[in-house]
Structure 1
C-alpha cells in the first residue's frame, strides 16, 4: 500500500457521481455503489486522514481530491493517490486548523475500468 500526491491532469474528466449514504462527524464514513471512503480530521484539526476501499477485488489505483476548509471558510485542495489490493489510506498535514474536509475520487481496477468512489464529508468542532 502506497500513497502519494498527484497532478490534477491525472484524473478522469467524465465521471458519474454516486450519491452515498453518509455518516457525518469527526470520522466520516461513506458507503456508495462502488465502495467505502472515510475521512477523519485529527491532531486538533492539523491533519486529515483518508481511506478508500472499492468493493471489487484485485489490484487497483485510487486518485482522489481532498478539499480542506479553514476557520474562515477558505478552501485548499490536495491531490491524493494510492495503489493496493484491499484498501489504501494516507494523510495530509496542514499548517492551519481545518474546520471541514471533503473527498471525492476514482478507483482504476486492473481491468482498466474506472469506478467513482463515494463522496465523504467531515467537520471538526475544536
Structure 2
C-alpha cells in the first residue's frame, strides 16, 4: 500500500498497536504533531460552526508510542459533504486493513 499523504518513512507493520479514523482541524495540519487538534465526528457538533474545515485521516500508534498518520483528504473538507464522506470511507478501509494486521500479530504475541 502506497501512502501518498502522511508520515514518510518505513515502519514495521507488525509493530502497529492501534489505528483509528480521526478528523484533524485543517488550520493545525502541519503546524503540530498529527491529530493533536481534533474535530469529533458526528452530527450537531458545535465546533463546526466556528471552524468547520478538517482533514480526514488515520492515526497509527506504534508499539513504542510513535504516532504516524495517513491523510485520506487531499485538501481540507467540511463534515457532511460528499468529499468528506468519500475521505472518511477511504480512511475506514485503511483502518480495517490495519486492524486485521494488529489482530494477526498482536494475537500471536499474546500466545507466546
TM-score by length of 1: 0.27
Q: TM-score, normalised by structure 2?
A: 0.29
Find the structure with the greater CA-based Rg.
2
Larger proportion of helix: 2
